[in-house]
Structure 1
Amino acid sequence: MTKQAVADPASRGQALTWAGEFADPAWELAYQEHSWPELSRLIRLSAMIGGIMFFAAGVVDYLAMGPGRAFLLCQAARLASLAVAMLPWAMARRPAYSPNISWAVLAMELGFGLTLALVVGHKTAGPGTMPSTMIIMVVVFYVIPPVRLAALTLGGVVVSALCLATLGLTNHGVDFKYILNTALLMVLVNMFGVLLVGRQNALRRRSFEQMRRLADAEGKYRLVVENAVEGIVVVDEDRVLYVNPWVEHVTGLPRERLIGRPFTAVIDPDDRQSVAGSHARRMAESRAYGAKRFRVGAVDGRLAWVEATGVFVQWEGRPAALYFLSDITDRLLAEEQERLNQKVEAAIQTAGAACHELNQPLQTVLMQAELIMLALDDSHPLHGRMSRIIEAANQMARVTQRLNRITSFHTKVYIGREMILDLERSTAEQPAAGAPPAPPEAAT
């Protein structure tokens, strides 16, 4: 796998490079980008504090050595350590440079080497040199996350050798046993520092990987929830804790205006009491919620029927209800249309049966009335009455004809509030297919 590099805005134009610490290059680059700036600041601060304390321990040198050549050499070494410790801080403040961890490592190991050499060689005494300087150095070692531990080990060996050579040239330690013991202690301290660094780096990487996995899982969860085709709402005793975009779309309100409000605020007033009571009972019983239908109002005045099911959950350490909402407005409209179609079908079937049963007796009435009319003179007292009978029979024939042409279901108000079938709106212009012909109207 080839190394990858990305631009790091925090490193002032420097590129981050995958060094193989993580199996996934993207994770390592993210680790460097988000974790290293803070760690670099901690390293620079620790190196500066350690350098200042190491230099301040020169007071103990003066008390132990007095103002002699050895004291001046020790102070020169301490001043050099302080300068090296301050170098990372000075470089970080210049826009043209980025913090260099190698300088911090050099400063700490130089401090280690000089401190141990002076203590082992019995050139200084007292608590000024140890343990304060050692504690600071170990802490700084512990927080450094080097890119490669091999580079730190090699640097420790080189710096230790330079320290030994400096001590030998300045006659701080000419005894072979002294030099050997000092070298051994330096190697042990450096290896201990490498071990601590490696352990801390591993712990940081493990923690970072866990946080990254958690962030990935949370991102996937949020992707599913935010793009769900159903509403998702989290409610505590009476307040909204979370809503997904579906709820925003249905209510027409942004999430910021929904969260923290009473959950019944968007429910139709006629349904609020029922929904609030059901929610309170389920919260008290801490159990799942069955399906419940109610109306939700939008800011533009629209009403949407929703069906809610829910479960009892713990949300941020407190009991809450997780509701899943489905918009059933279209389904209810379809059900209402189906019921209306059934009414129309029943009305058509009833009308057809009634027409069939009425048509034959009506034909008989008309035929008999016409025969009677033929037998009566115009001056006969029953002639007018028979004419009205024939007219009423013809009107009944027209009604049966309309009943056979019903294709829809419409009603009208009759005597106050009673609703009856509206034949004018429920019948088509043309007779329905298969309808029997209307009986002939007799001339009066």
Structure 2
Amino acid sequence: MDEQRVHGGGPPQWWRQGPPWWHRGDGQERPGARRSWPWPWPSTLLFTAFVLVGTHFSAHAQQGHREALDGYAYALVTVAAGLLLWRRRFPASVAYGTAAATLAYLAAGYPYGPVFLAVVVSCFSAVVAGRRRAAWASVGLLWAGHALIVLWLYRRLPPPGDTASGWGRQLVVATWVVAVVAVSELARVRREQWARERAERAQAARRRADEERLRIARELHDVLAHSISVINVQAGVGLALLDTDPEQARTALTTIKAASKEALGEVRQVLSTLRTPGDAPRAPAPGLDRLPELADQAASAGLTVEIDGTPPPLPPGTGLAAFRIVQEALTNVVRHSGSRHARVRIARDGGTLLLRVDDDGPATGADAGGSGNGLAGMRERAAALGGTIEAGPRPDGGWRVIAVLPVTTEEENR
């Protein structure tokens, strides 16, 4: 696989990942493979150059007090800074390695300088990566080794004529060490907090998406189940009367056309919310004021619907839920009941809306109330508003659905 294809057809991105011979030990690119830890070699090269130049200039300020820089000194500085190339893969080992190289540099009596920054960066990387003990131990060992050198071993180590350092100076160094680790710990805590917040936001977004998918599925089920039930009944009537009563068959086909047209319109309204998120719907959500339309559609399927009570003013959400519950209940009567008569009763008792749908039966299938998604959808709609649904056989035969939906004053004033 060539470099263009590995990087999605764009220009080669080797400068972000490092030379190709770093990809595998045998010097070959593994086809389609991606390393989980990119090599931070551009920043490492810049940092190494900065440390080398800074060490060179700091040596001039300490000339005569510390050992002069030589090839060994530059090698130690390069090793200490170059180990940062592996700080993402092996943060603990890099922390120990930079501390050891820096301690060897100090033990040789070379000038103080930016070499300590390599330890700071490796400590920071180890703490952020979760290797806190390695970070604390590496800087602790570096401080202890430096204290041992400047307090007791200075007579045996270069530069000649060096004097002992006081404990006060070591306490200052220890304070700086603690400050570096504390800042690293703070960065780790903030990074973990940001990661948790991102995860919570992603989970909330997934939950909202799931709820929206469930809402759309519920809407589509209610629209299609009712209309297709009417179409199914009328199609059976049309087929039965096609030869004996063509006019009645024509009426059935006209009903099928009207029901399918209305179903398509409602499906388009539901799907338009997916195409134009955030825009207001073009048509108002159906409410109980459209119960006469439901009765007409049921009548075209051979079901006479009697409506008892006047629909009260309702908030849009409650009105839509009430309409869909009655629609699904009537659909179940058409599909599962042998009764050709149903009654819908509407009443409001204070802050509660009561809906009752009765039919006289008998059941024409194994389950008069339906065993699919219809009853579950009704319960979900009611539960979303804090209401309840009861469905079951009546003592005198038939089937009854009772919905209790709360209607609050705050909801009406929205």
Q: TM over 0.5: same fold?
A: no
TM-score, normalization: structure 2? 0.40
TM-score, normalization: structure 1? 0.37
Give 1 or 2 for the bigger CA radius of gyration.
Answer: 1
